[in-house]
Amino acid sequence: MKAYIDSSVLLRVLLGQPHALKEWKSIEQGISSALIEVECLRTLDRLKLIEQLDEKKIASRREAVFRLIEGLTLIELTHPVLVRAAQPFPTILGTLDALHLATALMWREYTRADILMATHDSALGTAAKASGLRVIGV
């Protein structure tokens, strides 16, 4: 199975949170925006401050982010992706979610391969469904 992975999916797996994507181990090829690294590391930085995590725990989680991301095909935030994300979508969508959806749609158009949208974000899931993608995780 090929799936576009957003940061909510990667973070639930990484942090061992409840309701992590049940299909995670079935994903043969994970695709994501290069934005996923920034989102995950910023979240860990917030958790470090909010939960007052020690340096070893944060270092271990940061390393895990890099290892998980190494296994993904990352799509850079190119000008065409930014232009596509700026275009109207069929449902309300924030900026980061628009960048993820634009990346997934452009990857699908470029490769002509079937792709699932893996997300725990309901707004992104709704927009992805309305854009013709099959969605898992919500």
pLDDT digits (tens, 9 = 90+) for 54-85: 889 899 999 999 999 999 999 999 999 999 99
Round the average pLDDT of the chain to a whole number and report it.
96
Query: What are the E-state strand segments in 1-138?
Result: 2-5, 29-33, 72-75, 116-118, 134-136
- What is the CATH code of the structural domain delimited by 2-136? 3.40.50.1010
Q: Are 96 and 38 in contact (CB under 8 A)?
A: no
* pLDDT value for 53: 83
Q: Give the type of residue at 129.
A: K
* pLDDT value for 54: 87
User: Global pTM?
Assistant: 0.93
Q: Give the type of residue at 18.
A: P
Domains of the chain: which residue ranges? 2-136
Kind of pairing, strands 29-33 and 72-75? parallel
Give CA angle at 108 (105, 110), nearest 5°.
105
* pLDDT value for 69: 97
